[in-house]
């Protein structure tokens, strides 16, 4: 069986007046992520990891930020489209491992909700989705609560 690995990274500015959405889950917080879509950095990193594993380009290729149809888009819907693209090329998802880097808010209470949401989206068991949260130890723009970043790796397998 052929297996491939992909990597994705994303960062968005944390600003007033936006809903904070990560992994498709709304997190009550006074600020949210700026973006053309809903700014879901975790979903975006995961899309790039999946597309990367299949060498299908990147999120900007498939969902250009200049396209009005993606204004305030639910990024988990884009993720589902990416999964469909991979399926069309004969790939199914093995497992994914993600890390979100944010100083605030504390994400631990929301991680299982994100795992369930992403598992549904990817069509895999929740045990195949790992999401970790770290702080930046007060360093840099993330440490100053100006941004949230996310990293993801994904393993994909050739369909039998
Ligand atoms: Mg993004």
The mean pLDDT value for 129-137 works out to 98
CA of 1 to the centre of ligand 1 (A): 32
Q: How far is it, in rounded angstroms, from Cα 85 to Cα 75?
A: 15
For the cut 90, the answer to whether the pLDDT of residue 91 exceeds it is yes
Q: What is the CA radius of gyration of the chain?
A: 15
Bridge-based pairing state of the strands 129-134 and 25-26: unpaired
For the cut 90, the answer to whether the pLDDT of residue 65 exceeds it is no
**Predicted local confidence at residue 67, as pLDDT:** 83
Maximum Cα–Cα distance across the chain: 48
CA of 52 to the centre of ligand 1 (A): 15
What pTM value is reported for the model? Answer: 0.96
4-49 confidence digits (pLDDT tens):
999 999 999 999 999 999 999 999 999 999 999 999 999 999 999 9
CA of 12 to the centre of ligand 1 (A): 6
Q: How far is it, in rounded angstroms, from Cα 92 to Cα 160?
A: 9
CA of 160 to the centre of ligand 1 (A): 32
CA of 152 to the centre of ligand 1 (A): 13
Cβ–Cβ under 8 Å, residues 2 and 112: no
Residues comprising the chain, all counted: 160
**Predicted local confidence at residue 105, as pLDDT:** 96
**Predicted local confidence at residue 10, as pLDDT:** 98
CA of 41 to the centre of ligand 1 (A): 5
CA of 17 to the centre of ligand 1 (A): 18
């Amino acid at each position: 069986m052929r297996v491939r690995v992909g990597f994705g990274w994303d960062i968005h500015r944390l600003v007033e007046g936006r809903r904070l959405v990560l992994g498709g889950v709304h997190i009550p917080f006074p600020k949210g992520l700026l973006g053309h879509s809903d700014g879901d950095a975790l979903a975006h990193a995961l899309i790039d990891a999946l597309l990367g594993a299949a060498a299908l380009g990147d999120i900007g290729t498939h969902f250009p930020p200049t396209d009005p149809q993606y204004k305030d888009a639910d990024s988990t819907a884009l993720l589902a489209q990416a999964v469909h693209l991979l399926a069309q090329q004969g790939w199914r998802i093995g497992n994914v491992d993600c890390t979100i880097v944010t100083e605030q808010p504390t994400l631990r209470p929301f991680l299982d909700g994100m795992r369930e949401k992403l598992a549904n989206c990817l069509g895999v068991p929740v045990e195949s989705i790992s999401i970790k949260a770290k702080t930046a130890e007060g360093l840099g723009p993330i440490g100053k609560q100006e941004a949230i970043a996310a990293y993801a790796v994904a393993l994909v397998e050739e369909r039998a």
